[in-house]
Structure 1
Amino acid sequence: MPSLTRSKCRSRRFVLLLSLFALGCGGAAQTPDGQKPVHPVRGKLFIADKPAIGAFVLFVPDDEPATNPAPRPRATVDANGEFQLSTYGENDGAPLGAYSVAVTWPEDSRDSAEDRLKGRYRDPGQTKLKATIKDGPNELPPFKLK
């Protein structure tokens, strides 16, 4: 009978150690392919109170490493001024965290070099646009630019 009790104790210790190991292995959990979990994100972008149709928004993590950055959440604004972020797949969302939001609004197409915003929001290090992605679905307050 004592060996059965020791066996139970060992099993419990093993489960406890395994749990502690899992908790201590770095920040956010990642999927087996190295992707961080994402959360749905919807937002709106208006310029002079009109939808910024075709504007490109890029969310740059505030804690992004200088080397080997992860994919950045991004979206294109639709005819209603709305967007849904994509990181790994279409409209899948964004990982948790604080972001600087860069915006460019090409003249004709996404490939156009001319930015209707004259580069004022292009540099993630200079933009004053910020967002925080939390656990679960996220509905961001509208970005209203002039």
Structure 2
Amino acid sequence: MSTSGTISSILSIAVFLFIAGCGDKMDDGLVKQQVTGQVLVNGNPEKGIVVQFKHTDPTVTKNASRPVAVTDEQGHFQLSTNGEKDGAVTGTYIVSFFWPEGGNSTRDFLMGKYLKTQGSEYEVTVGDSNADIEPFKLNASASAVEAAHKAFQAKNLPQ
């Protein structure tokens, strides 16, 4: 899948989760654990980073294979599979990150550095209980972080 295809897929999932979160949580029959964490860029929390987990077991399918979240103002996130913040099924995941400009933009302020799961240095195992994982520490150029802040200000989005 191309980088723009990957970005489009991640954005579609994020939009779906936002819309799904506006209603009641559905019972999808999956046993999930709450998974929370934080993303830091250059040591600072940043809002709006899409965090996607990709299950390493190919028999895990559909949304259960790719839970996703978006960071809040403090860089915190809580994974969603089929409903808002409903968690993730057990197993090992490779984690990717995308920091979009907002809306349908495919611009990534992390410059694609953390977008691909193949070769990712970020791996998380979700066990049989809720998990608060250690912060993910990402690096970006100062100019990219400044551009992100300016883009969010221009769109009247909190940073």
Q: TM-score higher than 0.5 here?
A: yes
User: What is the aligned partner in structure 1 of residue 61 from structure 2?
Assistant: 69
Task: State the distance in 2 between where 1:102 and 1:113 align.
Answer: 15
1:111 CA displacement: 2.4
Aligned length: 111
Question: How far 1:117 moved relative to its partner?
Answer: 0.8
- Which secondary structure does the structure 2 equivalent of 1:42 belong to? strand
- In the TM superposition, residue 86 of structure 1 has moved relative to its aligned partner by 0.3
Shift in alpha-carbon separation, 1:110–1:94, aligned structure 2, 3 A: farther
The answer on whether the counterparts of 1:60 and 1:99 sit within 8 Å (CA) in structure 2 is yes
Query: What's the counterpart of residue 43 of structure 2?
Result: 49
* Pairwise CA RMSD: 1.7
Match of 2:72 in 1: 78
Structure 2: gaps (5+ residues):
1-26, 140-159
> Retained in 2: the 8 A contact 1:120–1:127?
no
CA–CA distance in structure 2, aligned partners of residues 131 and 59 of structure 1:
8
Aligned amino acid, residue 69 of structure 2: A
Is 1:85–1:92's contact at 8 Å kept on the other side of the alignment? yes
Give the C-alpha shift of residue 54 in structure 1: 0.1
2: CA distance between counterparts of 1:135 and 1:101?
19
Using the aligned pairs only, state the percent identity. Answer: 35
1:131 Cα deviation from its structure 2 partner = 0.7
Q: Which has the larger radius of gyration?
A: 1
The equivalent of 1:127 in structure 2 is 120
Deviation at 1:116, TM superposition (A): 0.7
Asked if structure 1 preserves the Cα contact closer than 8 Å seen for 2:80 and 2:86, the reply is: yes
User: How far 1:34 moved relative to its partner?
Assistant: 6.8
Partner of 1:3: none
Deviations, residues 85-130 of structure 1 (Å, cap 9, x unaligned): 0001100100000000010001x21521110111111111132111
AA of the residue aligned to 2:34 = P
1:88-107 → structure 2 map (5 Å cutoff): 88-106=82-100
Query: CA shift at 1:145, angstroms?
Result: 0.8
Structure ranking higher in helix proportion: 2
Moved segments of 4+, more than 6 Å: none
Distance 1:120 1:35, change over 3 A: farther
Shift of 1:62: 1.0
Match for 1:136 among 119, 129, 137? 129
Q: 1:109 aligns with which of 93, 97, 102?
A: 102
In structure 1, runs of 5+ residues without a counterpart are: 1-32
What is the CA–CA distance in structure 2 between the aligned matches of 1:69 and 1:95, rounded to whole Å?
A: 11
Residue equivalent to 2:152 = none
